Every structure is written in structure tokens, then in C-alpha cells.
Amino acid sequence: MSIHSSRESGLIVASVRALMREGRVAALATLQPGTQSPYASFITVATETDGSPVFLISKLAWHTRNLESDPRASILFNAECRAGDPLNVGRVSLMGVAAPTDDPAARGRFLAKHPGAALYADFADFSFWRLQIEQAHFVGGFGRITTLPARDILRDRETAMAWDDGVGAAIEAANTANTELIGRLAGSLTGRADHGWRIAACDPEGCDLVSGDDAARVVFAEPISASEALAGALQRLARGDPAREIN
């Protein structure tokens, strides 16, 4: 790992978390049985409150059969390249071990980012999987390359579980008290303000808005430490702090 100042290290960790939180699609690399040849595929993905990636895959897909044979995997998130050299945009490869999960929180986090997946999430051949991250390799552009252990990018699991226990009530209160505000935020990001938007999930870095099959990601100006701070974070966004949507 490269040596960085504490400030630069904090910026790198924030960049890695942003790539993970804001990504809706990613590349999944698995190993084929027998030959151990690498196989790369395309998945939709979300993150749990602690940051662990979760994804919904079918038993009919090669990557699922590969994981059932050898759970080692890597997931690549990359920022959108709007102009210039695509190799100058940030990306992070997460390496670890994948396993199925029946955690309701994982399911909720995924469907908040991909509401259309509710149509097939309960099909017998589909299952949710979680990547247990071992390390992350971040490239922030030319000369900005860092390898990080999982503990540097993931939030404490017990703290995340406590967040999940209380966030439902905070989301319900925010949806009830801030319907117009949520609509305005969604409208500023998507151009569809009168779309019946609501908050479906929230984590320290932002919240996921849904309306039917449509989804948008609102990023807080600063991470919040407790779900009770959600209302205040929304009000700060309403006062003009930056928010953005990740498609």
C-alpha cells in the first residue's frame, strides 16, 4: 500500500465508499470449475449499511455455478466517464469470498436500489449473495493507486446492525413529514418531481429514493452518524447543500 497523509487516506476511503454506494451495476469476476479460468459478467448491485456488496443472481447463470464451486470473487465498481480518458476515472476492485444470504436487510437494501427486481426476487432460481470483502484495490487516476484492507472501507458491523434496527422508524417519519421535500430533491435529480417519490433505504452516506420501478440516489453533503439525523440531513440538502443522482 502506498504511504499517504491521514487527510489523503481519508479522501481515498471516502472515494472508495462513494464508488460502492453509488454504483448500481458492476462487473463480477468468478472462477470456472475445473479449468479455474476467470469469467467476468455483469450484475446489478447494492451495498448493506456496513458497505458489503449484495447482489441478486440466478442459478442458471454461469457466475452462480462458478461461485457454488469456488466462492472466491471480485467485484469492480467504476465511476461514469462523461468525457476525456476513461482510465482517469475512479474505480475499485473488491476481492473476497461470496456467499448466499437470506438477511432481510440485505434484500431490502438491494430492492431499494433496484425496485424492478421485486418482480423476480422470489423466483426459486434466484438468490441474494453477499461479498465478504478481504481487500480493495483503488485506482483514482494516473498515479493514484492504493490497496486497502476491508477494515478500512467497511463500517463496523455491530454499529451497522444497530443502524438497521432504528432506520425504519426514521425513514417512515421522513416520508411522512417531508413528502414535498423528497419530491423536490428527486425532481432536481431526475426531472420527475411529481412522481410519488419516497425514501426506501438510508445509510450514513445517503438515501435511496424509489417511485415505482424508478430509483435515484441522494448523497448527503456529509455522512451522518445515526439514522435519527436523517431529517436534518434532508433539510440541509433543501437549503442548497449538494445532492446528486447516480444512474
Residue ranges covered by each domain of the chain? 6-154, 160-238
pLDDT, one tens digit per residue, over 84-113 is 677 777 899 999 999 999 999 999 999 999
pLDDT, one tens digit per residue, over 170-228 is 999 999 988 888 888 888 877 776 678 999 999 999 999 988 888 888 888 889 888 88
CA pair distance 70, 31, nearest whole angstrom: 7
Q: What percent of the chain has pLDDT over 90?
A: 59
Task: Kindly indicate the confidence band of residue 82, based on its pLDDT and cuts at 50, 70 and 90.
Answer: low
Least confident of 5-9, 25-29, 92-96, 221-225: 5-9
- Answer CATH for 160-238 from 3.40.50.880, 1.10.1760.20, 1.10.3720.10, 3.20.180.10: 3.20.180.10
